[in-house]
A and B are shown apart, each in its own frame.
Chain A
């Protein structure tokens, strides 16, 4: 049976009054794709809104690579607003006055769900690289265990962007009867070679940091901060678009009249990236970054179904809404359209919209009125159908 309590975080809670959410520790092990199993498994999660009597208004939100369960409330470590504050909340498209929203930290994460920074019961030390490789499917399995524990048989909708979108697709493929509707945003049914390449740059940066110490940095009281910051900087560029970078920064200089003829942060874009890197290190675990990027690399939904994506959704009754962004080159419209075509080929019910924006992949986290209008309308039509 499951226990409920407060989650343990790697970093101290600094935001006074922030809701730290809850955690459930499962006695049953989580059977992983790699053949190993994880036990005990703790899943840390947040909920927003109220589950109705018919239990028909549950909505599952899946987070992206560096996200967490704090979708719509202050992050307890950084104090910043929830990562999907624009989308989830009272009166927002995912309306917490109407829906019961659940968001869980993924397995392999570092915000309370079991991950490489947790203590391995066999050794009494942090797992580090002894932590088994996890997949997107494993993340979804852990979420299914959480829903079971919460007594939720069916969710009205499962939504997420980027790696969250991958989880949405995996949910629809693995648990079609538990998912009334699915909204994968800015994602793909498989990680492309280019995306694997960018992830590998990030991982190599972490592992090249002498403070990484073969993944055992916790035992040495160090942290591969520089490596993780470089990984974050490289990745962050892929979340933006050339046009948005030019618009926001151009060749503007940082607090100076002319270039310094040195290697300090002359340009605003350099200063911005440094800031992104440094602040990331304060809230994220380097080994978690290795594991979660690897899970995304391994994601290939068609491969699980004889290479035919349409088969992954064969006979599905789930209603899909796929959203892409014109300037997203990390998960471009073409990849999102492949999913729409596969769903059409499998006679599933699918809608697809491409939102015009110059903000790149990150657009799914930002104020994009067209996306809000589409998601709001879609969820409303689903809610009317299921009586939520």
Chain B
């Protein structure tokens, strides 16, 4: 199980300190939480929308609350967790700015990963076809995509600044899911990276 951890999740796991209290928002089937508990003695909690995924987590013995990042994060007290994680989910939230604000409030640190809509293939597809791009990572048609608030790396960096967050680390993700350190304001990753992972600290 831990061996098969998705590379982007492994990169996130690498950012989490040993023994930390972690909230994984959109924790899916609990693979990251289980990995963190097994390898870093993390006291982890999950928030997950899908009933099926919650059941998978509960069966793994993971404490997971079925709920919605858009509506339920307000219930968590400030600084309740050492790290709040939101992986590949912010683009699917109704109010990304509010969700980010809650994460920065709830976690002393926040880790966010997101797909990059500024990738050159996305840009080229829109330029040449004149239609909403569909890529491997973002394969939905415009009318049924759960990704209602797609952004580029540069867009997210702008939002993080607006929210008063400090970017402590930034990694770009390539096609194979491998990570590379990047400067958050560099133009290169915004054009070439499939996605990015940020370690943020609230104001």
Q: Which residues of B contact A337 (CB under 8 A)?
A: 67, 72, 75
Q: Which of A345, A355, A385 contacts B61 (CB 8 A)?
A: A385
Q: Which residues of A contact B67 (CB under 8 A)?
A: 337, 352
Kindly provide the distance from the CB of B20 to the nearest chain A CB, expressed in whole angstroms. 13
Q: Which one of A105-113, A230-238, A374-382 is at the interface?
A: A374-382
Q: Which residues of A contact B77 (CB under 8 A)?
A: 345
**Chain B: which residue is nearest A354 at the CB level?**
B66
Identify whether the interface residues of B are mostly helix, strand, loop, or mixed. Answer: mixed
Q: Are A345 and B80 in contact (CB under 8 A)?
A: yes
Q: Are A356 and B63 in contact (CB under 8 A)?
A: no
Q: Which of B61, B65, B66 contacts A381 (CB 8 A)?
A: B61
Kindly provide the distance from the CB of B59 to the nearest chain A CB, expressed in whole angstroms. 3
Q: Are A377 and B59 in contact (CB under 8 A)?
A: yes
User: In whole angstroms, how far apart are the Cα atoms of A350 and B65 in the complex?
Assistant: 7
Kindly provide the distance from the CB of A345 to the nearest chain B CB, expressed in whole angstroms. 6
User: In whole angstroms, how far apart are the Cα atoms of A288 and B58 in the complex?
Assistant: 37
Kindly provide the distance from the CB of B150 to the nearest chain A CB, expressed in whole angstroms. 29
Most buried by A among B56, B65, B67: B65
User: In whole angstroms, how far apart are the Cα atoms of A380 and B51 in the complex?
Assistant: 18
Q: Are A340 and B65 in contact (CB under 8 A)?
A: yes
Most buried by B among A349, A356, A382: A349
Most buried by A among B56, B59, B60, B66: B66
A352-388: CB near B (< 8 Å → 1, else 0) gives 1111100000000000001001101110111011000
Q: Are A352 and B60 in contact (CB under 8 A)?
A: no
**Chain B: which residue is nearest A356 at the CB level?**
B51
Q: Are B58 and A321 in contact (CB under 8 A)?
A: yes
User: In whole angstroms, how far apart are the Cα atoms of A374 and B65 in the complex?
Assistant: 12
Kindly provide the distance from the CB of B197 to the nearest chain A CB, expressed in whole angstroms. 26
Q: Are B58 and A374 in contact (CB under 8 A)?
A: yes
Q: Are A349 and B63 in contact (CB under 8 A)?
A: yes
Q: Given A351-B58, A377-B59, 13 other A-B contacts at CB below 8 A?
A: A321-B58, A337-B75, A341-B75, A344-B45, A351-B63, A353-B51, A353-B55, A353-B58, A354-B66, A377-B55, A377-B56, A382-B61, A385-B61
Q: Which residues of A contact B (CB under 8 A)?
A: 319-321, 337, 340-341, 344-345, 347, 349-356, 370, 373-374, 376-378, 380-382, 384-385
A-B CB proximity, top 6 nearest: A377-B59, A381-B61, A352-B65, A349-B63, A341-B75, A353-B66
Sampled A-B contacts (20; CB under 8 Å) = A321-B58, A337-B75, A344-B65, A347-B21, A347-B80, A352-B67, A353-B51, A353-B54, A353-B55, A354-B66, A374-B54, A374-B55, A377-B55, A377-B56, A377-B58, A377-B59, A380-B59, A381-B58, A382-B61, A385-B61
